[in-house]
A and B are shown apart, each in its own frame.
Chain A
């Protein structure tokens, strides 16, 4: 073989080896073709006005009080009449679409950080009766049930909902019933949905702090809250921050909460919802104003993402000093701490797991007006296996998700092999960033980009990927592409963790004994990381099955090819009683997730913590 300087520079090896080149180019080209180019092409339309390069559409957004309104209208909370009673109506100030999205995202980040860190600290540092039950219960809010959990949250906080039933009617803690609605409703729903992400990240950080660091501080006289503020929290901050940022991005792109709360006008005044609604009404495609809005949204998400990567990267060294294993510091709570656990933590936990419980209740009942559901029935659950349209969407989702995980596994395998084994290659950091960046690209932006790109740019125009090609458009193909891009970072993380555990010398020994690179890969590396592959595959499968943004847009074009989430959306905004059917699908998804996680945990003997950034 001939030595080549460009191979050394690009791929980190002077001998251009087809396996290495493929490992770099396959994921790179795939991500460029199905993420970078479609998004850039679509966003490019935002800079065109009357055939000229122009910032007109951005000016039109920032000049309109609908989108940008620094002097808010509406109210945060107000006493109003509801069914003949006075109630506190929580609604939200209207700062216009752009600021609303940012403020919702920030509020959710703050609330989830408080809640998640609070639970993580209790679980990591205190030992109390019932802790194991609490540990299991904390697992429940992690279960993803698109739309229907928000439906339950909405019901909980109605004037005759469960929250008022407990705290107003029975405990008399509120002077008047409360009604959480509008943007406040969106914030509360998102907080309850996403705080487990912060919890998991914070928990992992707390138990990874070297106890001797805290002991040393204590030894020097620091105690109680001072110790927490000066030592514990700063050390755990990178973990907490990356959880919080992930939540911020998820909040920004979330569609479920605004769709469920769309009864109140202000809940629609969010960037994600605006793009979504113009998408379903057909106005988004080639609509430069929506492209401009998408660009603003993407920019905010990217800034958050890059900021946290930079911040966490800076602090990684602090964690390197740790070395071996140790017994984490756990203490018995003092009397007042026990009171906090019993009267603050436990009720909060029960409130936050209620959405999932509510989904189960909803699935097994006929109707749910007022406080509790009524009319026990098995019909909804039966429909999963008997009702053709329901069966159908499940099969579709399984098909798309399975196809997507094959691609995801190939992508993450090649990408992490290339960037972990050829660190010196100029392409390695590019590949590394590209493989994680989908976390920061809102699903709705991908949906919009695909629609525009595939319907205008050859060779995709007129192909099965072209949504305007009524005859041949196959939404499954677009969904599989979208799933494979959106869920890549999670699988890539699991697989590159596996690759890092396999010392390079194991592959080198094989090659040194005469195995080519391909042989070394298949006979040594793959068997050694098979468990990580399996874990990554399970994880991506679960997240593909519950993917929402693209599913309810590109996936909603043709009902024959609906994925589960498209059907769920249709059901919850549709006829009375159909939310119960959506809940049955939610229960089904929860069962899939529990099965996948249990299998992954048993087989890999590792704790899969679902989700994380960095």
Chain B
């Protein structure tokens, strides 16, 4: 059982606080993703788990064992570096065999295990090449094989796909998922691509300047964002500033521009809120529990498998996404339009200073 626990990790670099007290609990055999914009502290978190940096305060546990200051080479949390860090003076075989040699594994077994690892990443036959003779995707797979072959307690992947082209990225994404399932290991994955995070993860932690904003399953995070930051980070969405004007138990009425929307779920204190509405949730026909917004069509953009209608409501632009052309066949720019939104699809969140 290797679950990884971080408790209140703080890390400062020359005066700037990179991590402001992070706590996470990553379960055994889980593929856990750290997601967040550039500079939010993802790599720092990963390096601290790997033992390549030490936190200023806080604790790290692998299972019940505290490993906060255990040197990297005794920790067994193996990192696949963003730049792969393959050793240019060693062949693919020697790169992969390195960790085994350190562990004094007998020669025969090293051979067997390296073969197994290279097969796993589909690189059999490349043993004698040098890293410079490989493509980016192949190098990345060598880096993964090098980490896997030592049977790490935890595999740490730092933006492993960021240097690959789109097609290879999709391929490698499912490869990583397959390998993780096959070997049943705990994987912590870092990315700033929300789509990648959604596709690959069991759970996601969304990070923002040194803090964790939300932890949850991809569906949770996409559909029930807990903060404005998470909502706006998870794909194209409408974030509309509004004011709470009336409260009634856990229901509120909010106002933006000249519109009043009632019966929305909201329990937080702040009256300054944002309304988060996913474009694909907006309909052009009334439903049972819908609110309606009347405005004019500003723009219609055709994307192939869907079409976006940008409506203008006072000064506010709201994007709706239509899958079938029928619904919107009559819409023309500058003509009036009504958006219908189910009350359950309007997420009211306190306004953040982003």
Contact = CB atoms under 8 A, between A and B. Distances in A.
A3 B55 CA distance: 11
A512 B78 contact: yes
Given A512-B78, A514-B102, A3 B87 contact: no
Contacts of B79: 508-509, 512
Contacts of B102: 513-515, 519
B87 A15 contact: no
A577 interface: no
Contacts of B62: none
Contact of B51 (A3, A424, A512, A523): A512
A503 B150 contact: no
Contacts of B74: 514
B44 interface: no
A511 B69 contact: no
Interface string A423-441: 0100000000000000000
B69 A15 contact: yes
B150 A514 contact: yes
A528 B81 contact: no
B85 A513 contact: no
A3 B67 CA distance: 12
A428 to B, nearest CB: 14
Interface in B50-93: 50-52, 54, 69-74, 76-79, 81, 83, 85, 87-89
B72 A1 contact: no
A505 B83 contact: yes
B37 interface: no
Interface residues of A, number: 24
Interface string A486-513: 0000000000000000010110111111
A506 B150 contact: no
A514 B72 CA distance: 7
Nearest to B50: A512
Contacts of A506: 85, 87
B241 interface: no
Nearest to B51: A512
Contacts of B72: 508, 511-512
B81 A527 contact: no
Given A505-B81, A509-B81, A515-B102, A528 B71 contact: no
Contacts of A515: 73, 98, 102
A503 B89 CA distance: 13
B99 interface: yes
Contacts of A523: 98
A513 B54 CA distance: 17
A322 B313 CA distance: 49
Interface residues of B, number: 28
A527 B103 contact: no
A14 interface: yes
Interface string A35-77: 0000000000000000000000000000000000000000000
B283 interface: no
Contacts of B147: 513
B141 interface: no
Interface string A516-543: 1001000110011000000000000000
A528 B89 CA distance: 7
Contact of A514 (B73, B81, B83, B85): B73
A10 to B, nearest CB: 15
Contact of B69 (A3, A509, A510, A524): A3
B146 interface: yes
Contacts of B73: 511-516
Tell me which of A1, A14, A514, A524 has the highest count of chain B C-beta atoms within 10 A of its own C-beta: A514
Contact of A524 (B51, B81, B87, B103): B87
Contacts of B81: 505, 508-509
A505 B71 contact: no
A611 B74 CA distance: 43
Interface string A130-149: 00000000000000000000
Nearest to A520: B73
B55 to A, nearest CB: 10
Contacts of B103: 514
A2 B70 CA distance: 9
Nearest to A14: B54
Given A503-B85, A505-B81, A509-B85, A1 B150 contact: no
Contacts of B76: 514
B85 A14 contact: no
Contacts of A508: 52, 72, 79, 81, 85
Contacts of B78: 512-513
A507 to B, nearest CB: 9
A522 B327 CA distance: 69
Nearest to B68: A3
B88 A528 contact: yes
A612 to B, nearest CB: 27
Contacts of A15: 54, 69, 71
Contacts of B54: 3, 14-15
A446 to B, nearest CB: 37
Nearest to B103: A514
Tell me which of B71, B72, B87, B98 has the highest count of chain A C-beta atoms within 10 A of its own C-beta: B72
Question: Considering the complex of A and B, which 3 residue pairs feature the smallest CB-CB distances, nearest first?
Answer: A513-B99, A509-B85, A505-B85
8 contacts: A14-B54, A503-B83, A505-B81, A509-B81, A511-B71, A511-B72, A512-B73, A513-B147
Interface of A: 1-3, 14-15, 17, 424, 503, 505-506, 508-516, 519, 523-524, 527-528
Given A524-B87, A528-B88, 5 more contacts: A15-B71, A505-B85, A508-B52, A511-B72, A513-B98
